[in-house]
Structure 1
């Protein structure tokens, strides 16, 4: 059964069926118990009436046993012998003995003393204890029926213990129980059909938006058009939240695909220039060896190699590659990167604080790449000075790279970290780079649990602030 509607309807029907069955059984048990107690009370009244007559000294022959068909009576002595029965009682069960013929030798209560001078005749005593009850049958005048019997004990004035068994018919109880049971058996299937139908219709209406979402997703899959969105119902239930979440996922997926497409297009465009230049130089060199520009070919090759390395690193970052957790002395790493730039156009000045730990956890190679990209960017835009400082700051290690160039306009401070973005479009590609350095730097820093931001230096140029958590302290955010 693959339909949610069918499963919901079946489940609701089963639950209601179990609940109604349990409730019906409880009603029948309560009804049967109440009617049985009522019959028992009638039987007790009849038994006490006969017992009262015997306690007052009435003989067995003088007993008024009432309606034998309604309340059959059987009287037994303390030895279990039958001493009196109702007229036309042919068989009985549930009273302790099935005998219906009185024993001739049983003691007979004597009538009271008629002497005028005598005092009030002695009387027996009826037990006030709760009588015993039992279900049984009785055959009266050829008709057998079920009865509820009550057994009441008494002691005659001659100290003879007798037990009066009187019954009350259970026909009314059985008829009422049968009527209720038949009504339930008739109404239960109808009620279950109503429950199943209503559940089917309600579930169908509730799941209609889900079917609309499914159809639209199938259409998006078939058309590969991530600009489409699934319909969002006006309700505020789980289905509406599902539709909104689906649309948010489609928006993120569309942006990711667009970014990937732009990345591929930009990468192809960036690779085309050095490859074309290198090919041209090699073709010229092949035809005219004396015109071969070897330094230019080497420069194009180096540029092409660097671009390929940048693209490979971005691909690994996009694939979710996590950095290592080795301890890296950021102060020593900064000194090492600066020492390699002594022959640059503007050798950077470095200031490393000796106070506080300067170790961070991560990949030494990737962090060196970040520092190199920041230094390259600062040297490219500086007029006369580039400075680097490293210090501990509130459990973090803070690295600042500043220059005295034109700085970064405030409106462009987020955009410069996007891939293939260059604010100095007027520069040549050889001087301006491919626009991947800062994008790589921010991605690497983010995956190390740190931040990279740009501001304004005191000299008016750009200040890039790199903040990384010290080794041994958990990163503030997971950059994976």
Structure 2
């Protein structure tokens, strides 16, 4: 069944449950009707037995035929050997039932219910005293109407169970198909997205709020997050390739220039020193690129501090002040410098990868320092604030604490959870 479609499995399970329920209900109804009909027959048997016992003489003969005829019952009187000594005209000379040593009243059914019997009887066998020992009084009533009613009930119950099961299965299939139709639509749209389509979202009904709708909304949120991540990765690759291309081109040019003519040992050492500067720049850039994929470790605050201080020394102006204190549930790291700071436009993109102001391009650096700080801070569940000349920018988790710093200084503030 695990290979069957979900709607088929749902309908199959629902149908089996309905079959069990309907069958149990039919058995209960049949049993209750049978019990009621048998009680009616047993009442007739009991009344006829009392009348016959009173009208049976010591020799086993019936003394009052009129009274017995009024009961409408079939009877036989058996001696101790089980032979018929008296009987009603319709009973016959053959025993209706065999006593088999019965010592108390016993009710038995004679004749088959299925297939039909020519002489269906319900009989009560009662021990009585007759000449020569213990005899038996057999009183029987026909159960034709009882059997016919039960057979008719069986047919009606079978039709009802089959009909109800068919209707319930059809309704269950329609409901399952209706419930799973949005999921199938999601699957088709997801296949379209997987084939390379961008900007596509699942069609989620706006006027409903059920499990399938919530699934569609969650998948749309996931698709949006994936698109943002892919777009960020694409920008990162473009920016990284651009930033790496320049130092690699310079390094290649220096090597080619060094190969154009024979040089002295001193000239080679000078060229090697210049090449080492370029290689160290590439190594630093590679390390910074790796830091953009951080894991939250115990040295997060140290790495953040190192990047902020290095950024302040590179792009700011002394003195650089570093302060670390705990405020409530937060550790607050503040780095200030006396540099010119950033304008509003630069503050907006200061944490972007490879973002540098025009006047900073002449200085060393790759524009990854604040991007690394933001990445580390957000990974640790904190917030980065950049403040310059009354302009404030916040990145990461919301922190309900005011800025406390000199408004005339360039300030970078990091809020980290205290347990970090």
Q: Same fold (TM over 0.5)?
A: yes
CA distance 1:448–1:240, change in 2 (3 Å):
closer
Moved more, 176-185 or 245-254: 176-185
* Alpha-carbon distance between aligned partners in 2 of 1:415 and 1:85, rounded to the nearest angstrom: 115
CA distance 1:417–1:445, change in 2 (3 Å):
same
Match status 1:307 vs 2:285: yes
* Per-residue CA distance 1:1-20 (angstroms, 9 max, x = gap): 53223222322222222222
Q: How does 1:88-107 map to 2 (within 5 A)?
A: 88-90=90-92, 91-94=94-97, 96=99
Moved more, 76-85 or 186-195: 76-85
Structure-2 residue corresponding to 1:23:
25
Match status 1:417 vs 2:391: no
Match status 1:426 vs 2:358: yes
Q: Does the 8 Å contact 1:51/1:153 carry over to 2?
A: no
* Alpha-carbon distance between aligned partners in 1 of 2:201 and 2:345, rounded to the nearest angstrom: 32
Structure-1 residue corresponding to 2:66:
64
- Residue 218 of structure 1, CA deviation: 1.2
Structure-2 residue corresponding to 1:120:
none
CA distance 1:10–1:296, change in 2 (3 Å):
same
CA distance 1:137–1:299, change in 2 (3 Å):
closer
Aligned length: 388
* Per-residue CA distance 1:336-358 (angstroms, 9 max, x = gap): xxxxxxxxxxxxxxxxxxxxxxx
Match status 1:148 vs 2:80: no
Q: Does the 8 Å contact 2:341/2:410 carry over to 1?
A: yes
Q: Does the 8 Å contact 1:68/1:89 carry over to 2?
A: no
Q: Does the 8 Å contact 2:243/2:366 carry over to 1?
A: yes
- Residue 69 of structure 1, CA deviation: 10
* Alpha-carbon distance between aligned partners in 2 of 1:410 and 1:180, rounded to the nearest angstrom: 88
CA distance 1:383–1:323, change in 2 (3 Å):
closer
* Alpha-carbon distance between aligned partners in 2 of 1:71 and 1:418, rounded to the nearest angstrom: 106
* Alpha-carbon distance between aligned partners in 2 of 1:9 and 1:434, rounded to the nearest angstrom: 63
Query: What is the aligned counterpart of 2:186 among 213, 217, 224?
Result: 213
Q: How does 1:137-176 map to 2 (within 5 A)?
A: 145-150=119-124, 164-176=137-149
Structure-2 residue corresponding to 1:332:
none
- Residue 54 of structure 1, CA deviation: 5.5
TM-score (norm 2): 0.76
Structure-2 residue corresponding to 1:49:
51
Match status 1:378 vs 2:312: yes
- Residue 240 of structure 1, CA deviation: 1.6
Higher gyration radius (CA): 1
Unmatched runs of 5 consecutive residues or more in structure 2? 388-402
Across the aligned residues of Structure 1 and Structure 2, the Cα RMSD in angstroms comes to 4.0
Q: Secondary structure at the match of 2:350?
A: helix
Q: Does the 8 Å contact 1:381/1:403 carry over to 2?
A: no
Q: How does 1:146-295 map to 2 (within 5 A)?
A: 146-150=120-124, 164-222=137-195, 224-234=196-206, 235-287=208-260
- Residue 46 of structure 1, CA deviation: 1.5
- Residue 173 of structure 1, CA deviation: 1.6
Structure-2 residue corresponding to 1:108:
none
* Alpha-carbon distance between aligned partners in 2 of 1:469 and 1:237, rounded to the nearest angstrom: 37
- Residue 45 of structure 1, CA deviation: 1.7
